[in-house]
Structure 1
Amino acid sequence: MTTASVTGIFSERSIRRARLGSGLVIFVFVLLHLSNHALGLVSFAAADKARHLFLALWRNPVGTVLFYGSVLVHVTLVLRAIYIRRSLVMPKGEATQMVLGLLIPLLLIDHVIGTRIAHELYGYIDNYETIVSMLWLRTPATGVRQALGLIAVWIHGCIGIHYWLRYRPWYGGFAPLLLALAILVPVLSLLGFVEMGRTLADPAYQLTSIEPYATTVNSHYVSDPAIRSHIAMVRAGLYGAFSASLIIVVAARTRRRLKERLDQVAVHYPGGEVIRVPRGFTVLEASRLGGLPHYSVCGGKGQCSTCRVQILGDYQKLPPPDKLEQTTLKRINAGPDVRLACQLRPDADVAVAPLLVPAVEAALPANSQETSPGREREIVVLFVDIRHFTTLTETRLPFDVVFLLNRYFAIIGKAVEQAGGRLDKFIGDGAMALFGLNAAPEEACRQALDAAAAIVVGIEKLAAELAEELTLPLRIAIGIHTGPAVVGTMGYGRVRSMTAIGDTVNVASRLESAAKEFDAAIVFSEPVARLAAADLAGIESREISVRGRALPLKVYVVPREKAAEPLEGKA
């Protein structure tokens, strides 16, 4: 991908948006078209009534320009993406999407010619009786090809939608429903086509239902040699244009590759690997060509920092980062020797060290594994811990300690889940919970404060129940903070779970320790109070120093006697 500015009509960001927008228009067209086919399960009449609505939407000047313009833009940008992509080594999902995208024109050009083009040029009546009769009775092989084209275009579109939405906070919850729809739509469409074909094959239906006018017009269209010759020329032109475009792209790539073989640079890695690539390749493309695993959550678009590398040597001699790379590096406060591998195109030999090194599973080829370290999100983190736990349990039997911890963990888990959060992990006698995975930051802050109050109430009841058995009163300390953190699935082998890491998590842990120092039940940061619009009447505020932060952090300290009271805002 060539370096481009972040803004402007022809910037990479604008081009990606144009490709996404055109793809969405085509996807909506296909979704409505397949849904129309599915009504064939009801009857021909139902499918034809829906067809009139479909044609009213798309066979007007605006709909025509929108759809066919989107097709032209999308195909052009896909061919451009194939050309500028330095390496065709990619994850299986991307490869499948690309191959299907190239097959779609070859599978569907005849269908477009036999419907829209024939209708516009010669008045061909392309209703369901005509098309199903052609594909089911007269040329079933063409019908099979159209069915394959239907499946190809649908899978291609669904993969694109998945890549577009996969890092949205709400996508995980809706993914099962979307998967069910992705399966049902083409299945019902094919079943509708089959049902219409079986109905049309019934001699009784043919004798009573085929429209005489449509039959006469279409028979003239099929039998007229001049019309057939013209249609053949149109077909040759469309197939030739697409084939020529593809050949030009392949030829341009081949020419560029032959030229670049004479001008290569070497990328050195910490493990001793040396990968030689043509000048103009990115470091990420070098890693992929060499079969080295390299994180790139955003797919090499410069929108995340997971592919970042440290330059081992004189980094000042490298090409300076463009605006897109500068923006991303600034967000993570990267040092001057840190660059994004997907954007850095060294013009001389360079030594790099990836800063996020994935552990590749032995059973998976390096280039086929889609590493998924997570995505930065705005969340709320809650830490809770039992005070003086060692003293409380040093004279108790191990099974008694297990009983106490299970009661304690049950209180925390119930409070967190009822408030709308997710229990992340238990750490000894402490626990960590996350809020905001499926909620806005404001709502997440209120949920965390509600959960903290519920935990305090539950612990007080447990303390009263076990008062005679414990040497010290049962007390807890809770810390709550909000901010950006990387949320993703982490672990090894089968021991994997979703968790969060980052400065926000560290600060929340520090606030839990501060609660112990202040002999308080809850300490939450000023950002949490502000987003939750918390009622702070009678709540003491302080400023504390947090390791790793230059400025002190304002926090609110909730004493035990007020901790069970709700803190949500009055607005």
Structure 2
Amino acid sequence: MQARLRALSGSVLFAYLSCHLLNHAFGLISFDALGIAHDILMEIWRTPLGSFILISAMVTHIAVAFLSVYKRRTLKLTGLEITQILSGFVIPMLMVNHIIGTRVAEEIAGIEPTYEYVIAALWVASPVLGVLQAITLVLAWMHGCIGLYLWLRVKPWYQNWQRELTVVAIILPVLSLAGYVSAGFEILFELDRDHMISTILENARYNSSAIEPLQALVTPITFGLALLGVAPFGARKLRAVLEQKSRILLLLPDGTKVPVPAGATALEALRSSGRPHAAVCGGRGRCTTCRVKILEGGDVLEPPEGLELTALTRIKAMAGVRLACQIRPKDSLGISPLLPPTATAKDGQQLGGLEGEERRVTSLFIDIRASTKLAEEKLPYDVLFILNQFFSEMSSAITETNGHYAQFNGDGLMALYGLMGTEEDGARSALKGARAMLNRLEALNKSLASELPFPLRVGIGLHHGEAIVGAMGPPRAQITSAIGDTINIAARLEGLTKTHDVSVIFSQEVAQAAGMDTTGLERSEVPVRGRTAPVVFFPIRDPNRILPL
């Protein structure tokens, strides 16, 4: 809830700031343009509903930030996090004078803070405040951009749009400052005009007797905000004094024992001890790069919920995998990090637990028949187009039947079933996947009839048994896959589809795991090197009648 409130309130404030900066940019044109843009961009924030949403977002964001600082068990932060916290501490104090001189003065003193009035106050009456206002603008924009970056960089699409978003993040404040400076110089150039200042003050309905009491509030409010800002840090110190020294330890695979302060997350304990550990999102439960395997003591942990449950479900994490930033050990806990400290946001998108684990799964191999002949009869571009269409359809069939793409081998691929759920669910889903593939292949042959020299045919082999499942491949391109006899036998059965002239072959182990009645099915067997007993399998000549829907 805390993370959602921070993201939601921050988004509202960033939207308001974006409108404000864009409004300033119209100062490059004229004061009239500033006024028109203000009516379009800012009027919504001046309505009762807009004001309520804006003030609520501001109060919520500050409160959540204070709570976040207090709840942290270590202040060993990244450079971006430090910059974000410090700028968030300073910005409210820098904004006090501006808010009182505009919005508060408008509501209480009846002032009409026109752009001419505000620019004249900042460029003529108090140039120092004018400079501080520009600094505040840059700090606020930087603070918001850091928050957005820490939030969005774990999103799969972010890398594709990072350059464009960076350009916007640079151009908007530059144009805003340019408009602010342009408007300031326009005021300065017109100072000699008769009665200019008096005209501006008159248009703004300026009343010094009403303004001065409000201006007297600036200093005490600023000091009050400063004291409020250091309150979470003081509360942390008090908590540290009141809490007894923790006897809870994190036990790492290399024998290292890391003390865990009472109430701290595993990530905070690791960082406070100087132990490097990945956490791209800064410990907010979004990126999953801090994931760990629980080796012992996991029975006393609270079950995953909220953000952690959502994140673990998204990556299809195996049993015993948790996020170090979300677990708060109540007793000593054995853990093993699953990603290196240098892991990136892209690494956090990898599915599975990433650790090797022996599991009972159903493996499915599918391969295109006569792919060499297809390559001989079609141009390379056409072959690639056909293959890409084929793999797109087969991948969709895997996804819709709860399978997991695990390997690509040129003109075929492998899928794993049973990574989530029971063995029976996995085996039945694999059989459904085989039928879905054949149905999609039939539709593909019809749609590509004019492109194909002959209809595409496939062979599908399925086997169920023990396999080692985990992240495999180069460090920056790992996928969750599997190795072992189960995988080899599934590949062997796929190869036998040619010999038996069928589209699908599944082993007796698959049928047993799926609870399938094989009475009346054609039965055969094949010897396998390293096994004393042959593998019994069923070549299926009419998949649409045999395989489950």
Q: TM-score, normalised by structure 1?
A: 0.65
Contact preservation (8 Å) 1:305, 1:328 = no
Cα deviation, residue 194, structure 1: 1.8
Structure 1 position 519 matched with structure 2 position 498: yes
Corresponding residue to 1:32 among 19, 24, 31: 19
C-alpha displacement at 1:275, in angstroms?
1.9
Aligned partner of 1:49 in structure 2 is 36
* Pair 213,304 (structure 1): closer, same or farther in 2 beyond 3 Å: closer
Please give the per-residue CA displacement for 1:510-532, whole angstroms capped at 9, x wherever unaligned: 98876543239xx9xxxxxxxxx
Among 249, 254, 259, which residue is 2:232 paired with? Answer: 249
**Cα deviation per residue 1:366-389 (whole Å; 9 max; x = unaligned)?**
xxx878432559xxxx98867799
1:153 aligns with 2:140: yes
Matched, 1:144 2:123: no
Shift of residue 253 of structure 1?
A: 0.5
Q: For the residues of structure 2 that align with 1:139 and 1:338, how far apart are their CA atoms?
A: 58
Match of 1:106 in 2: 93
Which residue matches 1:214?
Answer: 200
Q: Which residue does the alignment assign to 1:321?
A: 303
Structure 2 equivalent of residue 127 of structure 1: 114
Q: 1:412 to 1:75 in 2, by over 3 A?
A: farther
Q: Distance in 2 between matches of 1:452 and 1:70?
A: 51
* Matching of residues 411-426 of structure 1 within 5 Å: 413-415=384-386
Q: Which amino acid aligns with 2:162?
A: A
Which residue in 2 is equivalent to 1:68? 55
Q: Please state whether the residue corresponding to 1:39 is helix, strand or coil.
A: helix
Partner Cα distance (1:548, 1:185) in 2:
62
Of 242, 266, 282, 2:265 maps to: 282
Once the two structures are TM-superposed, the CA of residue 306 in structure 1 deviates from its matched residue by: 5.0
Matched, 1:373 2:348: yes
Provide the rounded CA distance (Å) in 1 between the counterparts of 2:101 and 2:486.
65
Deviations 1:8-50 (A, max 9, x none): xxxxx2x332222222221111111111111112221111112
In the alignment, is the contact (CA less than 8 A) between 2:9 and 2:58 conserved in 1? yes
> 1:289 corresponds to which letter in structure 2?
S
- Partner SS for 1:278: coil
In the alignment, the residues of structure 2 paired with residue 60 and residue 79 of structure 1 have an alpha-carbon distance, to the nearest angstrom, of 28
CA contact (8 A) 2:298 2:333 kept: no
Equivalent of 2:75, from 77, 88, 96? 88
Tell me which amino acid in the other structure corresponds to 1:214. Answer: I
CA distance in 1, matches of 2:227, 2:71: 18
* Alignment RMSD (CA, Å): 5.3
Contact preservation (8 Å) 1:295, 1:372: no
- Looking at structure 1, the residues matched to 26 and 512 of structure 2 have their Cα atoms a distance apart, in angstroms, of 62
Partners of 1:547 and 1:300 lie apart in 2 by: 42
Q: 1: distance between equivalents of 2:180 and 2:489?
A: 63
CA contact (8 A) 1:545 1:551 kept: no
What's the counterpart of residue 352 of structure 1? Answer: 334
| Aligned-partner residue type, residue 193 of structure 2 | L
Q: How many residues end up aligned between the 2 structures?
A: 470
Report the AA paired with residue 352 of structure 1. Answer: G
Unaligned runs of 5+ in 1: 1-12, 362-368, 393-403, 435-444, 464-473, 481-485, 524-539, 560-571
Check 1:490–1:18 CA distance in 2 against 1; reply closer, same or farther (3 A cut): farther
Q: In structure 1, which of residues 254, 267, 282 is the aligned counterpart of residue 250 of structure 2?
A: 267
Q: CA deviation at 1:333?
A: 7.0
CA-CA distance at 1:287 after TM superposition: 1.6
Paired residues of 1:383 and 1:432 also in contact (CA < 8 A):
yes
Does the Cα contact within 8 Å between 1:312 and 1:353 map onto a contact in 2?
A: yes
Distance apart, 1:82 and its partner CA? 0.8
TM-score by length of 2: 0.67
Given that 1:302 and 1:324 are in contact with CA atoms closer than 8 Å, whether structure 2 keeps it comes out as no
Bigger mean CA deviation after superposition, 249-258 or 49-58: 49-58
How far does residue 239 in structure 1 lie from its aligned partner after superposition? 1.3
Alignment partners' CA distance in 2, 1:241 and 1:276: 37
Once residues 147 and 94 of structure 1 are traced to their aligned partners in structure 2, the CA distance between those partners, rounded to angstroms, is: 23
In the alignment, the residues of structure 1 paired with residue 22 and residue 169 of structure 2 have an alpha-carbon distance, to the nearest angstrom, of 12
CA-to-aligned-CA distance 1:97-149 (integer Å, 9 cap, x gap): 22222222122222212211122222333222122223234433322221221
2:329 is equivalent to residue 342 of structure 1: no
Identity over aligned pairs, percent: 29
> Where in structure 2 are there 5+ consecutive unaligned residues?
353-363, 396-404, 416-436, 463-468, 517-538, 542-549
Q: 8 Å contact 2:27–2:180 — kept in the other structure? A: yes
1:281 positional shift: 1.4
**CA 1:457–1:159 in 2, change beyond 3 Å: closer, same or farther?**
farther
Maintained 8 Å contact 1:387/1:516: no
3-state SS of paired residue (1:352): strand
Deviation of 1:415 (Å):
4.5
Report the residue type matching 1:517 in the other structure.
Answer: L
Contact 2:21 2:172 in 1 (8 A): yes
> For 1:545 and 1:114, how far apart are their aligned partners in 2?
81
Q: Specify the code of the residue in structure 2 equivalent to 1:358.
A: P
Pairwise CA distance, 1:254: 0.8
- Written as runs of structure 1 = structure 2, the 5 A alignment for 1:170-249 is 170-203=157-190, 207=193, 210=196, 212-216=198-202, 221=207, 224=208, 226-227=209-210, 229-249=212-232
Letter paired with 1:287: L
Q: Deviations over 1:502-561 (max 9, x none)?
A: 58xx999998876543239xx9xxxxxxxxxxxxxxxx78867898995489xxx999xx
Residues 325, 541 of structure 1: CA spacing in aligned structure 2 closer, same or farther, 3 A cutoff?
same
Q: Is contact 2:25-2:180 (8 Å) kept?
A: yes
Amino acid at match of 1:216: E
Which whole-Å CA distance do the structure 2 matches of 1:44 and 1:427 have between them? Answer: 62
User: What amino acid is the match of 1:347?
Assistant: K
Q: 1:118 aligns with which of 102, 105, 127?
A: 105
Structure 1 residue 159, shift from structure 2 partner? 2.6
Decide which moves more: 240-249 or 26-35.
240-249
Q: Give the CA deviation at 1:55.
A: 4.6
Moved more, 294-303 or 244-253: 294-303
Q: From the superposition, tell whether residues 491 and 546 of structure 1 become closer, same or farther in structure 2 (CA, over 3 Å).
A: farther
CA distance in 1, matches of 2:509, 2:206: 84
Deviation string 1:396-423 (CA, Å, 9 cap, x unpaired) is: xxxxxxxx99x99865544466899799
Could you say if the C-alpha distance between residues 308 and 426 of structure 1 is closer, same or farther in structure 2, counting changes exceeding 3 Å? closer
Q: Deviations over 1:455-497 (max 9, x none)?
A: 9989976x9xxxxxxxxxx9986999xxxxx9x99844xxx45
